[in-house]
Structure 1
Amino acid sequence: MKVLVLIASVIASSAIAQDATTGATLFADRCAVCHGAQAAGNGPMAPVLTIQPTDLTQLAARNDGVFPTARVAARIDGRDPLVAHGSPMWVFGEFFDAQGPDIALQLPAGERIMVSGPIADLVAWIETIQVHSSE
């Protein structure tokens, strides 16, 4: 019985909910310099970059209204390399990878992927700033 309780607590700790507020702070500290304070791709470094930062508020709109959770997480953690980020995620790859245990991030279709806590928080915040065509 103790083994089942231990297993359940490990599973629960790996499914901690994302924190969009923490994600907003991480974004301001680590991403806004390129993507801009409002995540529209117009940060102060954008003019000097060869590849322009993506407008992160339009990700769902460009994906038939569905926020591409897995693609966003994979871009940040380097699983889906992006030349501009220098895969893994530019100079912050080690920060995002080294912050605590991985947690399960639920995708729109219900499956889960494992990501670090900071990446889950960033993804949660980016999802909250999506501008849909009706807005």
Structure 2
Amino acid sequence: MIRILIPIAAACALTACAPERQVSGRALYQDYCLSCHGAGGRGDGPAAEGLGKAPADLTTISARNGGTFPMVQVMSAIDGYSRRGDRSSVMPELGVALQEGPLVRVDTGDGIATPTPANLVALANYLKGLQQ
């Protein structure tokens, strides 16, 4: 039994010491959002014209929410959770694509730090920076 646990413990220790890869919200935006939402986030990307519904202007999220950036709602929209079953949405669900990588703890408003994909948080933070 001990022969099995020692290699597992060693692997866990090495993983814990490995440097975390820095997540770039800007790079994620360029990979997943720019084609529809455009470089500035205004919904004027090169693929926007071919969609049945115009992409949202991401620079006015806070303005549409009383001047506050709704981080949890934005992450839920990006992930696709809040849009499941919405047949009018043309935005892809990015939850699976953004799951790769480390998790960070995010208070989602209930006082509980919820493990959340760092990529999802980084992308939402990038959008927060685009607000007018």
Same fold (TM over 0.5): yes
Residues 125 and 60 of structure 1, relative CA distance in 2, 3 Å threshold: same
Corresponding letter in the other structure for 2:123: L
Equivalent AA in structure 2 for residue 69 of structure 1: M
Between structure 1 and structure 2, the one with the greater Rg is 2
What root-mean-square deviation, in Å, do the aligned CA atoms of Structure 1 and Structure 2 show? 2.4
Separation of aligned partners in 2, 1:108 and 1:128: 21
Q: Amino acid of the residue matched to residue 122 of structure 2?
A: D
Determine the structure 2 residue equivalent to 1:94.
96
Pair 1:117–1:34, CA change in 2 (3 A)? same
Provide the secondary structure at the position in 2 that maps to 1:103: strand
Q: Percent identity?
A: 31
Cα deviation 1:58-87 (Å, max 9, x = unaligned): 00011000001111100111211152124x
Partner of 1:115: 116
State the alpha-carbon separation in 1 of the partners of residues 108 and 59 from structure 2.
18
Aligned pairs for 1:51-66 (under 5 A) are: 51-66=53-68
Listed as ranges, the gaps of 5+ residues in structure 2 are 1-15, 17-21
DSSP 3-state at the match of 1:62 = helix
Deviation at 1:101, TM superposition (A): 3.5
Gaps of 5+ in 1: 1-12, 14-18
Equivalent position of 2:125 in the other structure: 124
The count of aligned residue pairs is 108
